[in-house]
Amino acid sequence: MGRLFLTYLDGKVYSCKFCKTQLSVAEDIISKAFHCRHGEAYLFDKVVNVTLGAKEERMMITGMHTVVDTYCVACGSLVGWKYETAHEKSQKYKEGKFILERFMILGPDGSNYSVNQDVELDGSDDDEA
């Protein structure tokens, strides 16, 4: 593996739960009203220090979406996904945006969210069916 170059952020930073690599800032949150298999998830406009997986089609509650999983560039942990294409017209606002699962990240104050025991582990976010 070559040398790792990271982007450093100023402000209220969200970071990888496992290695504390910075991922995004609070100002880039579009919505906190999403849910995933582990509980809460946030929709971000921009995310840094991630690598992207392969494109795949996922049927979600709000319709079919083309998404790519996002992984922390430093430790390789799955931290969320990016919406590539929304097939429903009403969902086009998600295109190019990122979901970060709260269970996989640390909040700006260092808070760590645990798994919500009421959420099915094989369930999905507010969007996934």
The CATH number for 57's domain is 2.170.150.20
In a domain, 4, yes or no: no
Cβ-based neighbours of 3, under 8 Å, separated by 6 or more? none
In a domain, 126, yes or no: no
In a domain, 117, yes or no: no
CA-CA distance, 36 to 44, in Å (whole number)? 14
Q: How many independent structural domains does the chain possess?
A: 1
Range of the domain at 35: 13-106
Confidence (pTM): 0.85
In a domain, 33, yes or no: yes
Q: Going residue by residue through the chain, which has 129 residues, state the pLDDT in tens, using 9 for 90 and above.
A: 578 899 999 999 999 999 999 999 999 999 999 988 778 999 999 999 999 999 999 988 888 999 999 999 999 999 999 999 999 999 999 999 999 999 999 999 888 776 544 444 333 454 444
